[in-house]
Amino acid sequence: MSAPAQPLRLGIAGLGTVGIGVVKIVQRHAEMLTARTGRPVTITAVSARDRTKNRDADLSAYAWETDPVALATRDDVDVFVELMGGHEGTAKDATIAALNAGKDVVTANKALLAHHGQELAELAEGAGRVIRYEAAVAGGIPVIKSLTEGLAGNAIRRVMGVMNGTCNYILTRMETAGLPYDTVFEEARQLGYLEADPNLDVGGIDAGHKLSILAAIAFGTKVSFDNVVLEGIGCISIDDIRRAADMGYKIKLLGVAQMTGRGLEQRMTPCLVPAASPLGQLQGGTNMVVIEGDSVGQIVLRGAGAGEGPTASAVMGDVLDIARGLRLPTFGQPATSLADPIPAAVSAPAPFYLRLQLVDKPGALAKIASALGDAGVSISRMRQYGHADTTAPVLIVTHKTTRDAIDVAIAALPGTGVVDGAPVALRIEEV
Ligand SMILES: NC(=O)c1ccc[n+]([C@@H]2O[C@H](COP(=O)([O-])OP(=O)(O)OC[C@H]3O[C@@H](n4cnc5c(N)ncnc54)[C@H](OP(=O)(O)O)[C@@H]3O)[C@@H](O)[C@H]2O)c1
């Protein structure tokens, strides 16, 4: 008779939304997990800040560690599961300690990977360990696995995504309820949808972290979050949403990463997308990632980007890979072979949506067209709305141009004497 298979022993640091979700799956599906991996998956020790907190799961069978670093280095832990969050301090220290102690690591922490991915990947791979982080990008959607495994035979052309459910909730709620940004922002806060620092969500930082991780895998470059162009959704008004809809578009906080002759582009900015496209139809808190490969063409992945079940599902996918003996380099190729990214100084040309408030004077439209023309921006479509007072909203869709040319045009508009207030310019992404 052969010896029973060795269990894979987890040490879980962080018993919040995701951590407790993982505990529940391990407890609920013990038999299934053993059947699928050929060995039991067990939890030996856990850690959080407050031991007295009621946590909606029975933790009595597990050792409690006050210090996550001590948990990460225990002899009876094979995999350190980091579910605390934060890119400095305890999460980073404990991850490094775990790798140095010969443990594999599973984490849901996009900030940690976006800021320290290269350093951690080199450390892990030098020590013969793995770091897995499916839950860090788009929650329950298996996008890391898709890029590193299923699509590994493709040269990736572009990766796009709506990867912050809170922003998509705010934008779709503004549209469906006809409510202004500030009201919906407050609603989202009341519902607990916003991070403690809301700028992580609405400023595009959280989604930018995710995009930088995807870009590293897709293009074989070192993670470079600092090169992600970030613009939040705070500038989007209900007027923009309505006017964009009139012209057949939806506004999304869209991440786009692509490698062009100009270098690596990484943008997390509000964009217009065709209303009939999969991205345009995405409602509420759902996430979507679109990947374009040279052989596969375009694939669209859609699902829950957050929440206990979806995020724990992704963590467990990583744990099961480790239990089965699947070991991949952190970013799909050895960390030492990842290239230093050359950030594109200019983004790929695209049509732009321009909204401006035009003073009601004869010849005003001609002055605008001339200012845009001087900046090399040509107009594809223009629509003027009726006015209640001395100004009227005008919408312009340009032919393909660069953000630089648009910025030059916008800088020239006040000099025309016919524009009131600051124009809004949003890229129209061809998806
Ligand atoms: N929630 C989601 O839907 C989601 C989705 C994708 C990725 N993630 C990522 O998953 C990670 C965890 O998120 P979460 O939503 O589960 O967070 P959470 O509910 O706030 O839970 C965080 C847990 O970490 C513990 N913790 C924090 N700092 C600690 C420290 N210094 N020492 C020990 N324990 C510490 C907390 O302890 P106490 O309970 O005692 O305070 C808590 O149990 C984050 O990296 C997050 O970005 C979350």
CA atoms within 13 A on the CB side of 17: 12
Q: Is the pTM of this model over 0.85?
A: yes
Domains of the chain: 8-136 (3.40.50.720), 143-304 (3.30.360.10), 352-428 (3.30.70.260)
Residue minimizing CA distance to atom 10 of ligand 1 = 108
Identify which of 188, 160, 161 has the alpha carbon closest to the alpha carbon of residue 172: 188
Answer yes or no: are the C-beta atoms of 105 and 128 closer than 8 Å.
Answer: no
Query: What are 211-245's pLDDT values in tens digits?
Result: 999 999 999 999 999 999 999 999 899 999 999 99
Mean pLDDT of the region 131-135: 98
Of 158, 134, 144, which Cα lies nearest the Cα of 81?
A: 134
Quick: pLDDT tens for 139-167.
Answer: 999 999 999 999 999 999 999 999 999 99
Which atom of ligand 1 is nearest to 86's Cα? Answer: 45
What are residue 163's phi and psi, to 5 degrees? -125, 15
Predicted pLDDT of residue 190: 94
Q: Measure 149 CA to ligand 1 centroid, in angstroms.
A: 28
d(CA 276, CA 139): 25
Q: How confident is the model at residue 61 (pLDDT cuts 50, 70, 90)?
A: very high
Q: Is 146 in the pocket of ligand 1 (CB under 6 A)?
A: no
What is the whole-number distance in angstroms between the Cα of residue 16 and the centre of ligand 1? 5
Alpha-carbon gap, residue 242 to 288, rounded angstroms: 23
Query: Is 195 assigned to a binding site?
Result: yes
Two structure tokens written together for 278: 């999969």
Distance between Cα 208 and ligand 1 center (Å): 19
The model's pLDDT over 17-55, given as tens digits with 9 standing for 90+, comes to: 999 999 999 999 999 999 999 999 999 999 999 999 999
C-alpha to C-alpha distances, 107 to 4, 117, 184, 238, 298, nearest whole angstrom: 28, 12, 31, 37, 28
What angle in degrees, to the nearest 10, is found between the helix axes of 165-177 and 238-246?
80
Please state, in angstroms and rounded to a whole number, the distance separating the CA atoms of residues 33 and 315.
13
Residue with tokens 């980091």: 82
Name the pLDDT band for 347 (thresholds 50, 70, 90). Answer: confident
| Interior/surface letters 55-87, b for 16+ CB within 10 angstroms, e for the rest | bebebeebeebeebbebbbbeebbbbbbbbbeb
**Residue 210 annotated as catalytic:** yes
Nearest CA-CA partner of 168 in 292, 329, 285: 285
User: Is the shortest distance between the CB of 312 and ligand 1 below 6 Å?
Assistant: no
Nearest 5°: the CA angle 394, 249, 261 is 100
How far is it, in rounded angstroms, from Cα 64 to Cα 412? 63
71 Cβ below 6 A of ligand 1: no
Q: Is 139 in the pocket of ligand 1 (CB under 6 A)?
A: yes
4 has a pLDDT exceeding 80: no
For the chain, how far is it from start to end, CA to CA, in angstroms? 58
- Between CA 247 and CA 134 the distance in angstroms is 37
Mean pLDDT of 206-215: 98
Is the CB of residue 84 below 6 angstroms from any atom belonging to ligand 1? yes
Active-site option among 92, 210, 222, 250: 210
